[in-house]
Amino acid sequence: MRVILADDHVMIRDGLRPFIEKVDENVVVLDAGSLTDVLKHLSAGPVDLVILDLKMPGMNGFQGLTSIKEAYPTLRCVILSAVADRDHVLESIRIGADGFIPKSLSGAAMVSALQLIMSGERFIPAMLVDYSSRQSNSAVDRLPEELISKLTPRERDILRLLREGLPNKMIATRLDVSEVTVKSHLGNVFRKLQVQNRLQAMRMLVDSEPF
């Protein structure tokens, strides 16, 4: 598995490398200090994942992510940023990012998030949403009480942890159940909430009142 770790601070790359190497067996981490370095790595051979710092040279806001997704539409890209707010998260996902990881996230949580992303899911930490600047949303965008009432107590527990941005493995640990059990419950939750996947559920959760 080949991963490009792109950040213009060597100290940050050195600090994150040991955790990224835990994402899978035989991980090869390729250093990049700018968008130019990232593009060089991409043109040199297959890459499975790109972790992009928003503020490094050449990125020009979200333009760097846009350029990469246009040239490599199936490539998994994750935004890594010290600036973590609702607008940055939603814009990243709109452009095509598979996840948004704040630099304040713990190493263990980052490993779980990257494993989740490599399994085909997207990772959006709910705690990044700025609730104080929430705009009004239609009932369709929020989590209606009639849908919440259909959930079992255990499904509500799992949904609360999902809202915190925890991946399945950490939810399983927190509830002292197996990861298979969590996946099974989430399948039921998605069906009851009338959504197709984790991302759609998160979009409802971040604009809903606590339950």
Are 111 and 161 part of one and the same domain?
no
Residue whose token pair is 């959006």: 124
pLDDT of residue 13: 94
Are 24 and 42 part of one and the same domain?
yes
Q: In 10 A of CB 140, how many CB atoms?
A: 8
Q: CA geometry: angle at 160 spanning 112 and 111, to 5°?
A: 5
Are 143 and 124 part of one and the same domain?
no
Structural domain span for residue 147: 137-205
pLDDT of residue 141: 44
Are 98 and 15 part of one and the same domain?
yes
pLDDT of residue 28: 96
Question: 173, 170, 171: which is closest to 189 by C-alpha?
Answer: 171
Assigned domain for 211 exists: no
Radius of gyration, CA atoms only, the chain: 18
Report how many domains make up the chain: 2
**This model's pTM is above 0.85:** no
| CATH number of the structural domain spanning residue 101 | 3.40.50.2300
Are 31 and 90 part of one and the same domain?
yes
Are 94 and 111 part of one and the same domain?
yes
Are 159 and 105 part of one and the same domain?
no
pLDDT of residue 107: 87
Q: What are phi and psi of 199, to 5 degrees?
A: -60, -45
How high is the mean pLDDT in each 10-residue block of the chain (211 residues)? Answer: 95 94 93 96 95 91 91 93 78 88 85 88 66 37 68 88 78 89 91 82 62 51
